[in-house]
Structure 1
Amino acid sequence: MGVIYILIIVSLFVAIVFLAVFFLAVKKGQFEDNETPAMRILFNDVVAHKKE
């Protein structure tokens, strides 16, 4: 029964760490540009694919 308590405490700690990392990423502005990645595939990058 003691193992269950340890696993609950460890899982709560891991969840809090992931939540803190997510909030740090949001605070640094990592998720601000939602449109550019979706439109990047529409642009034809001829220079990168050009073989001379």
Structure 2
Amino acid sequence: MSVIYILLTISIIVAIGFFIAFILAVKSGQFDDSYTPSVRMLFEDELVKEKPKSTNKTTKTN
């Protein structure tokens, strides 16, 4: 039973560590994207090129 308490404590400490690292990364601007919003309007309505239909003319030989 004591192993469960140890594992719970360690997992909570690791989770808090990851949460603090995430908060610091957000505050430092690591997840800010300043390029994509400025060009999003240029590529939003991009035309999709259709593949040309191939005509397979196979002749049957008897």
Task: Indicate the TM-score class for this superposition, using the shorter chain for normalisation.
Answer: 0.5 to 0.7
Q: Which is bigger in relative contact order (C-alpha 8 A, separation at least 6)?
A: 1
Which is helix-richer, 1 or 2? Answer: 1
Aligned to 1:4: 4
Aligned to 2:54: none
Task: Calculate the TM-score normalised by the size of structure 1.
Answer: 0.64
Tell me, which stretches of 5 or more residues in structure 2 are unaligned? 41-62
What value does the CA root-mean-square deviation take over the aligned residues?
1.8
Task: Calculate the TM-score normalised by the size of structure 2.
Answer: 0.54
SS at match of 1:14: helix
1:24-51 CA-to-partner distances (Å, cap 9, x unmatched) read 0000000010627xx8xxxxxxxxxxxx
Deviation at 1:18, TM superposition (A): 0.1
Moved over 3 A (4+): none
The alignment of Structure 1 onto Structure 2 pairs a total of residues equal to: 38
